[in-house]
């Protein structure tokens, strides 16, 4: 009986953490789809597809938070900001999404971010696309 209760508590905590991790993905998608004047770079369906990628990115071991960017990239706040951890996260992301773009938010940039909308408006043009990294045409 104790094992059953412990298992149920563990599953409840794990599902709550997963929902919290996906919160920024959901909020950035809602912001982008609700942008007045239709100032979107992509179709609404493309942002819905990016939501799935964002959720998967938020579950990566070195990702603290993930967001959808207006231009179709995925922005992440790394848990560990070292070269090796960043390279491993980028490799994992590009293996899963060879046509994606992953943008790391620096600790300096985090100081100026006040809301999810600030992140969603960021550009991923300074990031190297996965297809260039992986040599996909």
Number of residues in the chain: 137
> Under a CB-based contact definition with an 8 Å cutoff, are residues 126 and 86 in contact?
no
Q: Are 30 and 54 in contact (CB under 8 A)?
A: no
Q: Per residue of the chain (137 residues), what is the pLDDT tens digit?
A: 444 333 333 333 333 444 445 899 999 999 999 876 556 789 999 999 999 999 999 999 999 999 999 999 999 999 998 999 999 999 999 999 999 999 999 999 999 999 999 999 999 999 999 999 888 76
Structural Rg of the chain based on CA atoms = 16
| Token pair recorded at residue 30 | 């809602």
Q: Which tokens hold the place of 68?
A: 């959808």
Collapsed DSSP state (helix, strand, coil) of residue 46:
helix
Domain range for 91 is: 2-134
Structurally, the chain folds into a number of domains equal to 1
Among 100, 94, 103, smallest CA distance to 134 is for 94
């Amino acid at each position: 009986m104790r094992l059953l209760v412990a298992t149920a508590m563990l599953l409840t905590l794990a599902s709550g953490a997963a929902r919290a991790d996906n919160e920024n993905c959901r909020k950035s998608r809602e912001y982008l789809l609700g942008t007045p004047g239709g100032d979107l770079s992509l179709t609404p369906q493309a942002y819905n597809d990016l939501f799935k990628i964002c959720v998967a990115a938020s579950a990566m071991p070195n990702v603290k938070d993930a967001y959808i960017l207006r231009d179709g990239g995925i922005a992440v706040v790394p848990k560990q900001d070292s070269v090796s951890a960043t390279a491993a996260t980028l490799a994992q992301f590009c293996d899963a999404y060879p046509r994606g773009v992953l943008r790391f938010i620096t600790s300096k940039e985090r100081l100026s971010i006040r809301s999810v909308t600030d992140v969603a408006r960021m550009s991923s043009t300074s990031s190297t696309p996965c297809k260039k990294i992986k040599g996909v045409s």
